[in-house]
Structure 1
């Protein structure tokens, strides 16, 4: 679906809500809703939204790991493995 087909005024959404929701699920591409010609909201299907939230969560985990590395909050692999085997993860 072209970007121009995914930009709709709020009046279109009001008049065609069921169709819009069906298209969101079918194409899995967001729709941009305008008010007075300005983009004001983005609608997306639930599966795409959940995927995006999972991706954001993974990026946050990576970011936290990079911060730990920068700050020197790391231990050698052998030490980590020993702690896992011993059950002493503190």
Structure 2
């Protein structure tokens, strides 16, 4: 549940965008924006957004790897190292 102090209306956002942007620099807690009393968007700072996107990408890679493992497409650590070494050699 978001903190009440971080919930703002869409009209507040429209008239105080600069203030919200400044607050996001100082405090990484996102703002929850409402329209007609219902949540319609979340505004967060860029650093927090990038960190979250990186985490999502890492989780997707892990999920794809697990899917491959479950389908018997996995390889050993030694095979993986050999593939990486071969790829590095091809780039040179």
Matched, 1:16 2:16: yes
Stretches of 4+ aligned residues off by more than 6 angstroms:
none
CA distance, structure 1, for counterparts of residue 55 and residue 21 of structure 2: 23
CA distance, structure 2, for counterparts of residue 17 and residue 26 of structure 1: 15
Structure-to-structure mapping, 1:40-55, within 5 angstroms: 40-55=40-55
5+ residue gaps, structure 1, are none
Task: Give the TM-score taking structure 1 as reference length.
Answer: 0.84
Matched, 1:72 2:72: yes
RMSD: 1.9
Q: Deviations over 1:19-56 (max 9, x none)?
A: 10011121011101001111101111111101110000
Task: Give the TM-score taking structure 2 as reference length.
Answer: 0.83
CA distance, structure 2, for counterparts of residue 33 and residue 44 of structure 1: 11
Matched pairs, number? 87
